[in-house]
Structure 1
Amino acid sequence: MYVPPAFREDDLAALHGTMREARLANLITATAGGLIATPLPLLLVPEEGPYGTLYGHLARANPQWKLPPTGDAMALFMGPDAYVSPSWYPSKREHQKVVPTWNYVAVHAYGPAEFFEDPDRLLELVTRLTDLHEQPRAEPWAVTDAPETFIRAQLRGIVGLRLPITRIEGKRKMSQNRSAADRAGVAAGLAASDRASDRAVAALIPT
């Protein structure tokens, strides 16, 4: 990922925060047959390794886990993003030398993809993932709510993923390269949008 210095995010806690908030990532591997990508909810275990470790699962029928990768896998997480209109820049009225752009937050996590089929490890993984996403609900569903024989049968249809993060890149492009006046204009323009994602970006722009 191309990351100019003004947009670089190196704080590990901030990177982990973006990964948790993204909820759904894209697992990308390069194989002899070409690139393969699968959207996956991933569980981050921050204390496992220098940058944390990611866990998830794929459908057993998904060929991605069967094709040996030619190098590290990448998990791509996207945070809030928004189109930025040049009409929001006060500098437009001064010299007209402005163009549209896009603000966004992205994290790329790299490491060796390890796949596993052990049913007890899979059960632990799906339980942790389920608990993570059910926790905010008033009446959270639990894996144990379903019959054990049914869950065990479902586990036979998936394969687990472990991805220890060996390298991580973060980019937070939030108009940092613009003047304070232009940043304030962008923040105001996005804050007035009816898109929730636009308003989320507005809150991240430094003013």
Structure 2
Amino acid sequence: MYTPPAFRQDDPQALRALMAEARLATLVTATADGLLATPLPLMLDETEGPHGVLYGHLARANRQWNTAANGEALAIFAGPDAYVTPSWYAAKREHGKVVPTWNYAAVHAYGPVEFFEDEARLLEVVSRLTDRHEHARSAPWAVTDAPDPFIRAQLKGIVGLRMPITRIEGKLKMSQNRSPEDRAGVADGLSQSEDPADRVVARLIPRS
């Protein structure tokens, strides 16, 4: 990922937070048949390895799992993003030499990917994924709420994945290359947007 120094995010805690907030990732593998990509929820187990291990699952009918990968896989986590109009820049009023851009956050995680079919491991992964996304609900649904034979039948239709992260890249492009006055204008403009995602980006823009 092309990352100018001003936008590089190396803080492990910040990277983990971006991955957790993204919720849906894209798994990319290079194969003899070309690139294969699948959008899917992934969870990070921080207790394993120096950078953690990603877990998830995909449909058994998806050929990505049984098509040999050439080298490492790539998991892409896209964070909040927003269009930035030049009209918000103080520089527009000063000299007009400004153009539109896009602010965004992204994390790229690399590592060897392993696919597995073991029922016990699959059940653990789907249970942990479910608990992660249900815990904030007033009445969380659990995998054990469904009949056991039904769940076991559902597990036959998926394949699990485990991806130890060997290296990780983070990018937080939030107008850091602009003047404090321009950044303030972008933050103010996005904070007044009707789009909740724009307001999230507004809060990430440094004011000084």
The TM-score bracket by the shorter chain reads over 0.9
The Cα shift of 1:58 comes to 0.6
Q: For the residues of structure 1 that align with 2:52 and 2:20, how far apart are their CA atoms?
A: 12
Show the counterpart of 2:166: 166
Q: Partner residue of 1:18?
A: 18
CA–CA distance in structure 2, aligned partners of residues 99 and 43 of structure 1: 37
Name the structure 1 match of 2:58: 58
Structure 1 residue aligned with 2:184:
184
Cα distance, 1:171 vs structure 2: 0.1
SS at match of 2:51: coil
Match of 1:70 in 2: 70
CA–CA separation in structure 1 for the residues paired with 2:63 and 2:12: 32
Inter-partner Cα distance in structure 2 for 1:124 and 1:193: 41
Tell me by how many angstroms 1:96 deviates: 0.7
Residue 141 (structure 2) aligns with: 141
**1:10-159 → structure 2 map (5 Å cutoff):** 10-159=10-159
Amino acid of the structure 2 residue aligned with 1:66? N
Paired amino acid for 1:119: E
Instruction: With the length of structure 1 as denominator, give the TM-score of the two structures.
Output: 0.99
Q: CA RMSD in A?
A: 0.4
TM-score (norm 2): 0.99
Cα distance per residue 1:67-100 (max 9 Å; x no partner): 0001100000011000000000011111111000
User: CA deviation digits over 1:119-164, x for unaligned, max 9?
Assistant: 0000011011001100000000010111101100100000000000
What secondary structure sits across from 1:68 in the alignment?
coil
Q: Aligned partner of 2:92: which letter?
A: K
C-alpha distance in 1 between matches for 2:172 and 2:49: 24
Deviation at 1:43, TM superposition (A): 1.1
Cα deviation, residue 195, structure 1: 0.4
Q: How many residues align?
A: 207
Displacement over 6 Å in runs of 4+: none
Gaps of 5+ in 1: none
Partner of 2:4: 4
**Structure 2 segments unaligned to the other structure (5+ residues):** none
For 2:16 and 2:162, the matched residues in 1 are separated by: 17
- Residue type of the partner of 1:100? P
